[in-house]
Amino acid sequence: MIYLDNCSTTRPREEVVKVISQSMVEDFANPSSLHRLGMRAEKKIKESREYISRYLNVESSEIYFTSGGTESNNIAIQSVVNKLHKRGKHIITTKIEHSSVLNIMKSYEKQGYSVTYLNVDEHGIISLDELRSNISQETILVAIMHVNNEIGSIQPISEINRLIKEINPNTIFHVDGVQGFGKVELSLKASGVDSYSFSGHKIYGPKGIGGLYIDKKHTLAPILYGGNQEKGLRSGTENLTGIIGFGEAVRIMNDNFYKEAKHAYELKKSFATKIKEEIEDIKFNTTLDERSSPYILNVSFKYVRGEVLLHYLEDKEIYVSTSSACSSKGTEKSHVLRGISLKDEEIEGAIRFCFSYENTIEDIDYTIQILKESISDIRQITKR
């Protein structure tokens, strides 16, 4: 099997599976319990929180555990809007955000908020001039993703924050970091972001666990209420097993970050070079330089439908995606690919390849061979 759908989810590392299995046997107690087993569980949560805060170079008290990226985005955005709605009713985001952000924005528009959706260029990057012209004293929140999940474009987070604070220091800047966390460098303190979402299963950890960084200068109100776990921001008994596995995944990632990012970029570069040499009528929707994630390559194959090619590859045990896994079962064309002004045929023929530390150059060579054969077969039919 060759798995190139690592933006949708990753296979948990063996070390992560091991600590999860062990925790299900040994660490089953409720972390809120006062007895020894409960205190032991609480200690494991503290350890994982410290692994994550150390990686992000923030204080452990600024890290909150959630169920994943979607919940983190919802908590950050809704809490900010609930808190600041009397100051203004204007929000800024982009046209290529994840659905967990865009769907909240649609909800706020129905409630009378004004939402500005920033355009992106052909590489998926926003214009700082357009951002500058839209920030006002009414703007309470700017929500922009760090790395796009379909094409890998990296937004200039530090420059964006500097611009926001120059014009309106009271505006909160939330960053959806789900595809950037553990894959692309970002200093949260140096860049000055106010909140940042991340997820466990994108970095070889378990599903159902994520996190939210909130700068300690902010106090956000919860959007659901219960037993006041996570300092009251995210009530509900902690997903102890998930938190332990997440912590282990971050601990390993912290040691391997540069080595694995370099490996992924070498695979991406080799893959792109070979596709260009071997297959005609293609278009790269991802840049091959520092403006995109080393882990993501999106390519349009002309005269080919992406879902047909996906199944051709699947027959050979090669797994890819046509777009975001959260929207790939829908009937509408990718809003991200529309956002970078692709033609309909380019959107229909787009495939996203996402690499990991597990992939090898031999995997890339085999995938190119199967791609070439599959595309030739499909085009013989579509060009009749």
Catalytic residues: 326
3-state helix, strand, coil in the chain (%, to 5): 45, 15, 40
- Residue whose tokens read 């509408």: 332
How many other CB atoms are there within 10 angstroms of residue 211's CB atom?
29
- Residue 313: CB atoms within 10 A of its CB come to 19
Task: For the chain, give the longest Cα–Cα distance.
Answer: 73
**Contact status, residue 317 vs residue 2, Cβ threshold 8 Å:** yes
| Alpha carbon distance 151, 288 (integer Å) | 11
Q: Which residues pair with 299 in a beta bridge?
A: 284, 351
- Cα distance between residue 224 and residue 257, in whole Å: 35
Amino acid at 344: D
Contact 301, 309 (CB under 8 A): yes
Half-sphere exposure of 48 (CA within 13 A, CB side): 29
The DSSP string of 334-351 is: PHHHHHTT--HHHHHTEE
N residues, the chain = 384
Distance CA 133, CA 65 (A): 35
Backbone dihedral region for residue 213 (phi beyond 0: left; psi -120 to 50: alpha; all else: beta): beta
- What number of CA atoms fall less than 13 Å from residue 321's CA on the CB side? 25
Instruction: Kindly give, in sequence order, each residue whose CB lies less than 8 Å from that of residue 94, ignoring residues fewer than 6 positions away.
Output: 117, 118, 119, 120, 126, 144, 145, 155, 339
Residue type at 48 in one-letter notation:
S
Cβ-based burial of 171 (10 A; exposed 0-12, middle 13-18, buried ≥19): buried
Report d(CA 204, CA 66) in Å as an integer. 17
Question: Could you tell me if 65 and 209 are in contact, meaning their C-beta atoms sit under 8 angstroms apart?
Answer: yes
